[in-house]
A and B are shown apart, each in its own frame.
Chain A
Amino acid sequence: MKRLLFVLLVFSIAFSPHASAFAQSASPFFKDRATTIVGSAEPNPSTNPNPSIRPPSQSDVPSWAATFASNLEITNGETYTHLRQAITNPATSVTISAGNYVCTGLVRSAFRLAGETAPQNSLASLMQHNWKSINGGELINYTQDNRLLNRVQPGDAFFQMYRGNFIDGFAEHNHVSIVYSINVDANGDGTIVTREANAPKTSYTVRFQNWQMRSYPSGYFDVFLFGLRK
């Protein structure tokens, strides 16, 4: 009788979908081996005396995002997808393997290298949904209140999505990048410079005028959120 119950228990755990999801979450995707960069992240740009300008100096996340992006190379002649060599931060003992990465790969990697926590999802809409579950993580909706732009800092995640095209309540087509620097003044004029993966360029400049986003990616996506760090 006890043996039967034990077999039953093992059977139910093995067939549980959560067990397979857990096993998969630990494994890197498209992993291959190459040389390794060991050292510090790209140096931060010099600090601007203008207090409204927020350069990437608050943590290493933007710098590691820049290091990651600068080591991406074009695949299929179209997008910067392939990390040509592994990246290691000796301070956090984290190594990111060479290989192909989607947009979320840059966010996950930059946070891991910097020793910070980000949801380890490969689908941007899931990463966005799970952002609040990380310690101290906060998600702000720029589309609902564009003045929230005031709270965005270098290293925050920039989520971009459609209003439609949802799976189970979450946007299927979604994109995420890292805010590398932000320079928006008290009138709401200025720019955010991003770092990207799996895109035609590894950096874009997003322009705001009077708090309104007036450039890429507003012509494509129509809902924008920022994942703030603690």
Chain B
Amino acid sequence: MNNNQLTQALLLLRKNPKYLLGLLIIIFLFVIFLISVITSLTGFVKKGSPLELPETKQIEIQQQADEEFSKQINLIESKYPWYENLPEKNNKYFVAFDEKEQTFYVSLYSNNNPALNGEYKNQLYLDLEKIGVATQSYKFNFTQRASIQ
């Protein structure tokens, strides 16, 4: 299309508002179409905040995430069958196990008394062995506490 043709087309549009309106409608519909395609391709529909995503898509993604999560939990529990049976907090100690570090983190409520430290540690080892922990296979990190809070 050369300049003359373009000028004539513009003049035609100016003389006939119906043509102009028709052109605007076509442009508007095309923009709506483009927005729909882009949002369906990207998944997310941004509307400032909060974000939205079609419900079925959310469930599909979350189901996959929950399945992966469950596999990992099952893996941990099969590797450490005693994991959920660690002793409750008591007046001698509180124990937690960090599987990444392969370390038991222990708070001893011995009030910095060396005699009690030994006694409470022995009690901890005994309690862990009762639930099947091979205590010699893991590291222990002890923190002295004044007393149970």
A contacts, CB < 8 Å to B: 1, 4, 8, 11-12, 15, 17-18, 20-21, 24-25, 27, 29-30, 52, 78-79, 102-104, 119, 121-124, 126, 129-130, 133, 167-168, 170, 172-175, 183, 185-187, 189-191, 198-201, 204-205, 207-210, 212, 214-220
Given the interface pairs A200-B74, A218-B100, the reply to whether A18 lies near B47 with Cβ below 8 Å is yes
Using known A-B contacts A130-B50, A214-B98, determine if residue A123 contacts B32 with beta carbons closer than 8 Å: no
Could you name 11 residue pairs across A and B whose Cβ atoms are closer than 8 Å? Answer: A17-B40, A24-B55, A25-B55, A79-B67, A126-B58, A133-B50, A168-B44, A189-B107, A200-B70, A200-B74, A220-B73
Cα separation A190 to B145 with both chains bound (whole Å): 13
Please count the residue pairs between chain A and chain B whose beta carbons lie under 8 angstroms apart in the complex: 170
Instruction: Confirm or deny: B36 has a beta carbon within 8 angstroms of a beta carbon on chain A.
Output: yes
State in angstroms the CA–CA spacing of A104 and B96 once bound together. 27
- In the assembled complex, the Cα of A17 lies from the Cα of B47 at a distance in Å of 10
Is B14 on the interface with A (CB-CB < 8 A)?
A: no
Of A102, A174, A190, A218, the contact of B63 (CB 8 Å cutoff): A102
Q: Is the CB of B65 within 8 A of A175?
A: yes
A122 to B51 alpha-carbon distance, docked (Å):
12
Residues of A within 8 A of B42 (CB): 168
User: How many angstroms from the CA of A30 to the CA of B66 in the assembled complex?
Assistant: 16
Complex interface: chain B residues within 8 A of A201 (CB): 73, 84
Does A208 lie within 8 Å of B96, measured CB to CB? yes
Whether B61 and A123, one on each chain, are in contact in the complex, defined by CB atoms closer than 8 angstroms, is yes
With A122-B59, A214-B105 already in contact, the answer to whether A15 and B32 are too (CB < 8 A) is yes
A210-B67 in contact (CB<8A): no
| Assembly CA distance A27 to B55 (angstroms) | 9
